[in-house]
Each structure stands twice: as C-alpha cells, then as structure tokens.
Structure 1
Amino acid sequence: MTIKFVGAILAGASLVALAGCDKKPGEATTSTATATTSSATATAAAYPEHAYFGDTHVHTGWSADAGMDGAVTSPEDAFRFARGDTVKSNTGQDAKLARPLDWMVITDHSDGMGTINEIAAGNPKMISDPFLKRMYEAMKSGDEAQASKVVLELINLQSTGKLPKQVMDPEWMVSAWNKTIAIADKYNDPGKFTALIGYEWTVNAGGGDNLHRNIIYRDDATYAGQMLPLTTFQTQDPEKLWEWMAKYEGKTGGKVIAIPHNGNLSNGRMYEETTFTGGPMTKAYAEARQKWEPLMEVTQIKGQSESHPSLSPNDEFAAWDLWDKVNLNGVPKKPGMIRTEYWREGLKSGMRLESSLGANPFKYGANGATDTHTGLATADDNNFWGKFKTVEPGPDRWNRVVTRPYRGWEQAAAGYTGVWATANTRAALWDAMARKETFATTGPRMTVRFFGGYDFADADAGAGLVKAGYTKGVPMGGDLKPAPAGAAPSFLIAAMKDPDGANLDRVQVVKGWLGADGKTHEQVYDVKWAGDRKPGPNGKLPPVGNTVDLKTATYANSIGAAELVARWTDPAFDPKLKAFYYVRVLEIPTPRWTAYDVVRFKAKMSPEVTMIQQERALTSPIWYDPA
C-alpha cells in the first residue's frame, strides 16, 4: 500500500490532504477516528467503545499574540474548520481537514481577552497608552519584524505584571467571553461534533517560564457564563487557580479541569519540587494538583515533553521533536533544568514525593494538542498549517522564526488526544479526560488500548480483549490493586494503525519504579513488533526499515503491521515497589511536513532540516502502589 500525492498544490491554493491510500482487498475503509463513522450517536455505551480524536489547545485571532501576528480567524472559523468545513486561512488560502475532528476546545488567552480587537480598531482608550499604540501601529504596518518585537515585549510585560491598565481592565473580557461561550454552544452537536468551552491561563513566570494551563469545562454557557476566566493579572500561582476552580464548581455546580502545557519551555519549573512561591510541598498541595490537573500536554507544535536523551540515555527513541534550549521568551536553560521539565521524569519524581508527602503531585495522564495560533487545528504532516500566520504554508516558512531561536522547520506537526469515551458528548469526553482514559498522538489517528490486571489469560488478547480489560482489570489512567501473593501484573495492549496512515513498527511498555533505596529507575520494553526481527546482543530491536522516497514525499506500507496485540507480564516486578507503566506505539518512518513542503513548493532547505520521522502515540499510565 503506497501513499501517493493526489494533486500538485500551489501557494494560495487549498492545502488539503496531499496523500491518498490504496486499500488492500478486505482492508477496513472506515475509522473509529472520524466524526462521520465514530460519532453517529450520543447514546452512552456500557464502557468506552470508540476513541474520539480532538484538540484541547487552539487559539484564534482573538488571542492577543495570534492577533498581533496577523491572525484573523474567529472561534466560529476554528470550529467550522474542525468539523470539516473549508475556511479561509489567515493568509487567504483555502484550508480544509481531510478528516474532521470529533471534538475541539478553543482556548484563547484569558489575559487581555477582548482587547486585541479593540487595539486593532484603534480604540482611543487603548492607543492612548504608548505601548498599545506601538501594538496598533505594528498591526497596521504589516511589518512582521516589528510585530515580532512587540510580541516579545508583550510577553515580558505580561510575565512581570506590568501591562498597561487598559489591557487588564475586565470590561473588555465580559463581552468577549460571552461571545466565545455562545459560539461553543452554537457548534456543539452531541454525537457528531463536540465543542467544549475553555480558555488558557497564561503564566510566563520569570520572563517566559511557560507554566500555562488550559481550563476545560464540562458545562455549557449557562454555567461558564456565571464567572469570568481567571487571569494572571489576578495571580500567577497555580494554587490560586485551583482555588478559582473550586469556587467555580461551588458556585455553579459545574465541573472544570486544567491541563498544563508541555513542560519543555518552563526552564525547570513545570515539575519543580516546591510550590510556585518556593515553599515546601505538602500533602494538601499534592492532592489539589492531582485533583484539578489530571492530564499533561506531552506533545505539541513546540516540541515534546515525554522525555529527553539526557534523562533517558538508554531510550533510543527519546530524541524526537526536541525544543530544549530556552524558555518561551528565549532565556537560556541552566544545568539541571531539563530534569524537571519532562513527563516521564515527573512521573518518577511523583512516586518518590508520594512516599514522603502521602500524595503524588505529578500523577498525570497523557494529552496531545497543537497550540496552534492560526485557528486551524492541523496535526497531519501533509496538511500542516503551522503555529502562526507567518508560518502558514509557503516556500520560505521553513526558515522563518517561530519562537527564538527556533525556526519554522523545527515546528512539530503535532498533536491530538484520543479519548476513550462512552459517547461523543461534552459530559462523556470530559469524564474520560478526568479519569485519564486518554492517549496522545503526534497526529496520526492510531488507536491504542491498554489494560492492567492480575487475571488476564493469553486468550484475552483476542476478540474479547476490551471486555476482559474492563471486567478483569483497569484501563489506562487507572490504579492497580496491591498484588496478590506470588502474582505479577500483566497487561493487555492493542494498537491499530491509522486507517489512512502508516503501518506500525512496534509497541513498547515504558516502566518507571521507585527502588528500595528511594531512587527512581526506568526501563523501556519492546513488547510486540512487526516482522520477524529479533533483539540483538545489546537487547535492542533492529530498525523496521525505511520506505520513504524524499523525491516524491511518499512511503509504502510494505513494512510494518496494521495492528499489534499482546499480553505482556512485567518480568522484573517487585510487589513491594511503586511503579507506573505506559505504552508507546511507533509508526514506520514517514515523510515529515518539511519533506512535503520541498515537493509542494520546490523549497530549498538546509541540510540540518529533518525530513523523516517516526510518529507515535503515548498512553496515560497505569500505576501500581503496594500501599
């Protein structure tokens, strides 16, 4: 099965999917990933039967930084695009998803909500301030360098609480928030497309240390409209955010969760082992963080936060989509910061801290999102619209600055979250996120099942896998009971390729544990793989191969497997030690979005530009605690 171009794409034309699929006889042609096939009804199942794919992190032109960059998309444009409509991009090109999403959250920044439109319109109240006047002039000039300079100044002022008082005045937020939540209600279509209400609380501590959180509502506008979003003008302390969330739930009877951003731009602060103000962690702090923040963003346009080669030197797949030089505002990292930026290391630290605190502050499931600032939630490499208007498709976008010092080609076309929910509705999706029954992908809509228990038989890794998983064990995001005497946990794993994408290379289980000496450890196990490969003397599995043709930006599914299913038992289980397990699924090598751009635009790129990748999925962990 070979992936082929379906047509030449020129600048200014519709950038739809550039790849088609030749199906083999008998091969499935429908997908549980698409809105049209997986979301036909809102009726809840007894247990989750479908993975619904969507994006928890989308900015439109209503966000100040996106608007400053020239974005003009509205929340209506963003929802229409996500459900499969053709819309105009910020550069005037036709944009359309090859497959609609099942759901999406618009998370425009709460800081300055409603002000960017007033500045663009030259509201006298706004441009009476010198800085806001420079913003206005930069927007009107169309000068990208001038706009970029003002955006950096904006981040600095916002992180230090020194923005002009006009921007911090909540009068502008009231109208903008009411419009935002009304639009979400308008586009919410239970069973077909779910539009969740949300916003981003944007903490840039210390001049750009990214500690942002996306707030996701379970509710409709009648609930969300009762309280205005929290801003960093009020507080930058996450504990105050959790207090705001508790107040919202107490006042309205509604429900909210927070999803922290990828930690790789936090300069060591995402998993720091103190409170935000530098105080010691307590059990109450750890319990609050675990309650309000069930998921962590592990992949997005600005790189990945799963792990890092310096933290996982024995993991041959740790070096992917690395943004590991600076924080959000270009402040260089200092030695030691990387250790407290990455999810896997955070999961390990959480177990260690739990032993002393009595609660785990870093018990995070997996989330993938785009963080697009174009209003266009694209994570497919053959249809990638970039983070900002200035890096929408064009022959030179690969070399444009995205965030200092990163250039366009370093953007990752990522990611989406797969949610195992009982229906495609706000309540069912939100409930699944809250219980961490989610997996992150770098874009492909592969599906992954992961269950843990003590009573699985080999036969359970067959047609009855899902029923066995729920009746005999716990799903991803769950907790194993203490092991019975002489027993070790086994895991049911099933990974299926994206029906419109690449075959699978392998399925791995990543294990972390807390040793009897109080130190944390990790190991990556190859559990199931395509072909007849055998591990070498070093224990490593040989590569699956590579069919990518860079001259045409195509690949062939002549290697790899359509699905990989296994029952796996931990060979080194110690019932006395805390542990966690999560699954990582790797595709065969495929062209990266840069390779598609070379063919599409005949772009000439530097040798350091990455052209081939192995896309992947990461599940939420299953935890084991002997206590």
Structure 2
Amino acid sequence: MFGVKNITLLMFGAVFVSSLVSAEEQSYSPYVQPNYPDNVYFGDTHLHTVNSFDAGALGARIDPAGAYRFAQGEEITSASGQRVKLKRPLDFLVVADHSDELGFFPQLLSGSPKMLADKTGRRWYEAFTEGGKKGLEASMESILMQIGGTFPKALQSRPGSHGFDSTWKQNAKAADEANDPGRFTALIGYEWTLQPGGNNVHRNVIYRDGADVALQTSPFTTAGAGGSDDPRDLWKWMSEHEKKTGGKVLAIPHNGNLSNGLMFPEVEPATGKPISKAYAETRMRWEPIVEVTQIKGDGEAHPLLSPNDEFADYGTWDHGNLNLSADKIDDMLLYEYARSALKIGLKIESEIGANPYKFGLIGATDSHTGMATAAENNFFGKHSLMEPHAGRPEHIVGQFGQKKVFGWQQVAGGLAAVWAKENTREAIFDAMMRKDVYATTGPRMIVRMFGGWSFSTGDEKRSNLAEFAYQHGVSMGGDLYRTKQGKSPRFIVTASKDPDSGNLDRIQIVKGWVDRDGASHERVYNVAWSGNRTLNSEGKLAPVGNTVDISKAAWSNTIGEAELSTTWEDPDFRSDQRAFYYARVLEIPTPSWVLYDAIRFQTPLPKSVAKTTQERAYTSPIWYTPGTP
C-alpha cells in the first residue's frame, strides 16, 4: 500500500522489518563507522614511577599501577604525604620508566640480599631508610654515579637479571590491567636514556600492543651487554622487535633544549658525515613525533633563533645540558628547537630527497613523581622533592659547580592531544604515526588544522567541518604537493578554549621555507584574534590585555574569545619553495604555578619571576613539497 517492498507494519507497535538497506550499504546514521577521526584525546606519554632509577632515588614511591589509577581520576597520597587528585582524568597514559637500571630502586628499598651484600648498596639502603639529609645525600650520589658511568657493577639492574625482567613484566602487566578500551588507554612504554656527557638525547619507546607482545623482547638500554648509545641501534632494535613479534613500536625524542646541539644535527652523530638518505628515512620511520614541551622547558622556539617572534621566549631553559656539566653555546641552539629542526629538515630534503625532521608535535610532563599533573594550580613538580611546599620556587632543582636550576624555572606542562576515532591503543598509536596530533602546555584547548587547495573563506564555519576537510584536504601531519600554477594553499584552523582555563588570545600560523639558494626562512602570521585589535604594518597585534589578580591568583575571562577560527591563504606562497606550516594557539594570561604557591603558602614571590603565563598549543605541521608525491 506504500509502494515499498518488504515492509511489514505491525498494527499495535512501531516495529518495522525492512530490507531496504543492505548491510554493505552506508548506514543512514552518519556516526556509524565514520571514515575520519572526530574525537580528541588528551594524555601523557612520559611519566616516571618508583621503578625509574632517578625517580626512586629522589623519593617517588608510586608504582605503575598507582600512576594509572591516578591518571584515571583516583585520589592518591603523594610521596610527601599530600592528597592529590586530577580535576579531569586523562584519556591515555604511558608509564615510561628508564630502561637503564630499571627496577634497581624497588629492589634496594625491599632490602634485597643482593643489594645489601654490596657495601655501597647497604650504605644507600640505610641512608634511604633513615631519610632526611642522609637520604638526600645518598640520592644525589647514586644519581651522579649512574649518569657518570661509575655505578657499582654488583648493583646494576640489566636485561636478563631478575630485578630488571620482573620490573619490566610488572610495568607491562600494570598497563594491561589499567587498559579499558573506549574509556582509558594505558600504553606500554619505556625511556631509552641516551645522555653522552650529560647531553640529553632521550627517546621514549611506545608499544601499540599489549603485554603478550611487549614481553617477547627486553627494553633496549644504553649500557650493558646488548645496549648501545647510538640511536641507529635503537632503530635496529625496534625493527627486530617488530619482525620477531609482529607488533608495532615508535620512538619520541624529547628535551632537545638540553641536548647541547645533539638532538637535530645536520651530520650523522656516529660518523660526523652529512646525513644520508638512508639515515633520514630510517629516523622518520621510527620517530614520527617529537615532545616539544614539558617540565624541563619548552622546545618550540628560542628568542635568539626567532628574534621577530615575541612569543618565542616561553619556558626557556638554555643554561646548559641535562646535568649542567657543559655550558650552552649559542651555536648549539639551532640543533635543539623544533622550529629550527623543521627548517633544517627542509634544507636537507632539498639536497638528498629525504627529510629527517618531518615530525609531528606533542607535549608531555616528564614527571618523576608517578603523577601526571600538568595544570598550573595542581602542579606537583618534576620529582618528589619538588612537591608543593613553602619556598619550592627557590628550591635548587639541579646544580653543577656554580650553575644552578631553581624550582621556579620548571614549566607546569604539558599534554599530548590526539585526533582518533576511538580511545584505544591501536587508534591512538596510529594517530601518532600519521602525526594527527598536537601539543599543549597543559590546558585542553581543542585545535584542528587542515590544508588544501580548494578551501574557501567561510569553510571553517561548516557544521560538517571535519568530514569536509578530510575529504578535500589534509589534516595536521599531512602533505600538500604542487597544484595548478598560481594557486596558493589555504589552511583551516579552529580552536576552542579549555572550559577550565583562559579564553583564547589569537591563532598564529608559523611558516618555514627554503629558498632557491638553500637559505632557510620563517615567518609568524597572526590569522585570527580576539577583540577589535588590528594588525600593524608589520603584521603584529597589540597584547590582548591581562585580567590576573596577583593578590588572589585569579583571573576573569572578560577578554579573549571562547572560540576562534579562520580559513587563511598564504600571501607569500612560492610554488617552487619547500615549506611547512603549523598553528600556534595562545590563551590570555593566567596565573603561573609560582603565583599559586605564593598565595597558598603566604610566601613572597622570588624577584624577577613571572607571575603569569600564556598557555598555548602547537599543532603538527603540514608540509608543502614542489612536484608530485
């Protein structure tokens, strides 16, 4: 009667049996198996627990299981006896304990007969048990010996030993037990801690798989039989792991700002020769993303490298290497910061046809407390000695000779944001591999960036933006290639504020390119902003203002915007020049963790210490390459 085949209407119920749409055809509901990622997940890929040598030595007592519970929103008690909880749980977490001497400290604390049989081990055990000054002295001694390569042989915890293997099994099993697909992702990982001469060239290794796969091989170390201090050997280990297990791994470099010029070189570290195509391709096969901001400083840009960028001097640590044993020379900076590395990568690619630094950007904490706390008002410091207490801003975090690092120099951040279809190990890992990720310094602003040739003004307002943009362009981490002569690429950028943080000040697009003579350039464009400000003749904006009440560590969102978006066309595009583009999103000023401490503990602020901060996000770049893929 309705002219439709195979429909039965039941008179007393709204039940229809239909064969109008077969199982193979697209569902009427647009949310069934979407072919693009439309969920953003926030997490930390770099957290240490008591199972890391230095974290344990400095007072951490939270194990991996406790770290995962805390990340999921459970209240716990910190090593200093303080109750701690996140306001909002994380979506994912990687416990990345150091592979070198993995498990040493839990063995020592338990009074292992092997440890106590060594005179140094017994002395340390007694000192840590007593605590106080003796415990602190023992922790500093043990850390310096471990860094300096003079750690007692009888106390070493290496792959194949009971202490190492049982701890690695504990870490992997804790991740499996915490992993809850669709709600919380616990990724298995570890840190390969390369630091020649105290220069930080660390990587975190992340697994896509569970303990059944991860435990088939032992983590790679820098010391001991089978270990190496050559990144190429790490990549070889990763390849062999995948071949043996059928699993997947990736590595994330971090803290280039403390590498003293070693993180993003123009020559291969082992040979001193210019980077080869094989080296470049291998590095990018295994290291698709880079940790660009964390507690030990921000690694996006440096004011000496980017003198025309008024926001380049954020969380800058440039006083030396990791243990302050070597001074920082200005020439080193070029090979330490992400923006300069991206430019170096373009130059190398123009010469050899491969880019060793074609990476996406994420943030992490690198906390050594077992607690991933990235918020300014809930910051529990780098290690357990820097958990909240009166005077911690002026507490000495590190010292070598007359050089010192103070607590106030720590940065409360950051987080990794990942665009994925679902909150699972597989989806999050795959998003990292395709670089559809971005970094934040702690807040959870939602940022999207797309590039394409056919976008038009107003596309950023589309209700189906993600679906449209993925169909007609590429997301952050993607590639654009030459198109019709005279056409410039256009970029859609949208940003929404974190409901618990400051309004948005502006969106900027950072462009880097290489000219026909091989020289590198950069420019920062203001593309969307709050208020009635106008660009001056140099393309600059006046500051957004500041509503922070210093006496209360409070602010008001009476300036800035909750959302900003634009479709922007590069006015300086040259089709023959390699280029990259990434977005930087800035919040309005909000209180720094140092100001929160001063109010809570009623202590004076250290002189010349910033009372406010402008939190930010950095998207992964989109690259333009002349020619066709």
* TM-score normalised per structure 2: 0.90
Against the structure 1 CA distance between its residues 106 and 506, is the aligned structure 2 distance closer, same or farther, given a 3 Å change threshold? same
Counterpart of 1:11 in structure 2 is none
CA distance, structure 2, for counterparts of residue 216 and residue 306 of structure 1: 22
Q: For residue 412 of structure 1, what is the aligned residue in structure 2? A: 411
Shift in CA distance, 482/129, structure 1 to aligned 2, threshold 3 Å: farther
Matched, 1:347 2:346: no
* 2:313 is the counterpart of 1:319: yes
Structure 1 residue 135, shift from structure 2 partner? 3.5
The corresponding residue for 2:5 is none
Give how far 1:201 is off: 0.6
Q: Indicate if the aligned counterparts of 2:73 and 2:86 stay in contact, CA closer than 8 A.
A: yes
- 1:554-606: per-residue Cα shift (whole Å, max 9, x none)? 10000000000100000000000000000000000000111111111112222
- Could you tell me how far 1:155 is from its partner in structure 2? 4.4
| 2:168 pairs with 1:173 | no
Match of 2:252 among 252, 259, 267: 259
Seen in structure 2, the aligned counterparts of structure 1 residues 72 and 508 have a Cα distance that, compared at 3 Å, is same
Give the match for residue 10 of structure 1: none
CA contact (8 A) 1:483 1:489 kept: no
Q: SS in structure 1 opposite 2:61?
A: coil
Q: Bigger CA drift: 42-51 or 186-195?
A: 42-51
In the alignment, is the contact (CA less than 8 A) between 2:509 and 2:524 conserved in 1?
Answer: yes
What's the counterpart of residue 60 of structure 2?
Answer: 71
Paired residues for 1:473-492 under 5 Å:
473-492=473-492
Distance 1:239 1:393 in 2: 40
Q: Distance in 1 between matches of 2:622 and 2:164?
A: 40
Please tell me the residue identity of whatever aligns with 1:140. Answer: T
- 1:441 maps to amino acid: T
- C-alpha distance in structure 2 between counterparts of 1:159 and 1:367, whole Å: 30
Partner of 2:219: 229
Q: Which has the higher contact order (CA 8 A, sep 6+)?
A: 1
Contact 1:58 1:370 in 2 (8 A): yes
Q: SS of the residue aligned with 1:243? A: helix
User: Which residue does the alignment assign to 1:378?
Assistant: 373
Q: Is structure 2 residue 230 aligned with structure 1 residue 247?
A: no
2:261 aligns to what?
268
Amino acid at match of 1:60: T
The equivalent residue for 2:332 is 337
Aligned to 1:626: 626
Cα deviation for residue 161 of structure 1 reads 7.2
Deviation at 1:47, TM superposition (A): 1.0
Contact in 1 for aligned 2:124/2:138 (Cα 8 Å):
no
The 2-side partners of 1:64 and 1:43 are apart by 46
Taking the aligned partners of 2:201 and 2:409, their CA distance within structure 1 comes to 21
Q: 2:124 aligns with which of 123, 129, 135?
A: 135
CA distance in 1, matches of 2:525, 2:283: 30
Alpha-carbon shift at residue 162 of structure 1 (Å): 5.6
- CA distance in 2 between counterparts of 1:602 and 1:93 reads 18
Conservation of the 8 A alpha-carbon contact between 2:176 and 2:186: yes
Provide the residue aligned with 1:498 in structure 2: 498
Secondary structure at the aligned position of 1:197 is classed as strand
Contact 2:580-2:623 at 8 Å conserved across structures: yes
Q: Which amino acid aligns with 1:344?
A: R
Query: How far apart are 1:79 and its partner, in Å?
Result: 0.4
Give the superposition deviation at 1:45. 3.8
- Between the aligned partners of 1:47 and 1:148, the Cα distance in structure 2 is 54
Residue type of the alignment partner of 1:187: A
Per-residue CA distance 1:418-467 (angstroms, 9 max, x = gap) = 10011000000000001100000000000100000000112311123222
**1:437 to 1:199, Cα distance in 2 relative to 1, 3 A:** same
Distance 1:574 1:267 in 2: 34
Would the aligned equivalents of 1:448 and 1:496 in 2 still touch at CA under 8 Å?
yes
Match of 2:548 in 1: 548
356, 359, 364: which one pairs with 1:364? 359
CA change 1:211–1:131 in 2 (3 A) is farther
Q: What does 1:22-61 align with in structure 2 at a 5 Å threshold?
A: 45-61=34-50
Q: Residue 94 in 1 paired to residue 88 in 2?
A: no
Quote the residue 1:147 is aligned against.
136
Q: AA paired with 1:277?
A: A
Contact 1:507 1:586 in 2 (8 A): yes
The one-letter amino acid paired with 2:254 is H
Counterparts in 2 of 1:402 and 1:43: CA distance versus 1, 3 Å: farther
1:203 aligned to 2:198? no
CA distance in 1, matches of 2:609, 2:456: 47
How far apart are the structure 2 equivalents of 1:597 and 1:154? 28
CA distance 1:464–1:276, shift in 2 (3 Å): same
AA aligned opposite 2:47: V
- Given candidates 103, 106, 120, the residue that maps to 1:114 is 103
Which has more radius of gyration?
2
Q: Unaligned stretches of 5+ in structure 2? A: 1-30
Contact 1:479/1:623 (CA < 8 Å) preserved in 2? yes
CA contact (8 A) 2:505 2:587 kept: yes
Change (3 A) 1:283 1:148: farther
- The Cα shift of 1:149 comes to 6.6
Q: Which amino acid aligns with 1:384?
A: F
User: Where do residues 364-443 of structure 1 align in structure 2 (5 Å cutoff)?
Assistant: 364-404=359-399, 405-443=404-442
Letter matched to residue 552 of structure 2: T
Q: Distance in 2 between matches of 1:541 and 1:137?
A: 59
Distance 1:276 1:133, change over 3 A: farther
Structure 2 counterpart of 1:194, from 185, 196, 211: 185
Q: Cα 1:164–1:270, aligned 2, differ >3 Å: closer, same or farther?
A: same
Who is 2:444 aligned against? 445
In the other structure, the counterpart of 1:560 is 560
Structure 2 counterpart of 1:212, one-letter code: H
Shift of the 150–43 alpha-carbon distance from structure 1 to 2, 3 Å rule, reads farther
Match of 2:290 in 1: 296
Amino acid at match of 1:215: V
In percent, how many aligned pairs have the same letter?
50
* Cα 1:288/1:527, change in 2 over 3 Å: same
**How big is each residue's C-alpha offset from its partner over 1:132-184, in whole Å with a ceiling of 9 and x where there is no partner?**
44533442232357636744653454454765253143312111111111110
Please give the secondary structure, in 2, of the residue aligned with 1:461: helix
SS state at 1:336 partner: helix
Judge which range, 391-400 or 362-371, deviates more: 391-400
Distance 1:147 1:124 in 2: 23
Q: Deviations over 1:96-125 (max 9, x none)?
A: 000001111100111111111112233232
How far apart, CA to CA, are the structure 2 residues paired with 1:564 and 1:622?
20
TM-score when scaled to structure 1?
Answer: 0.91
- 8 A contact 2:362–2:437 mirrored in 1: yes
Distance of 2:464 and 2:582 partners within structure 1: 21
Asked if residue 277 in structure 1 is aligned to residue 264 in structure 2, the reply is: no
- Give the aligned partner of residue 525 of structure 1: 525
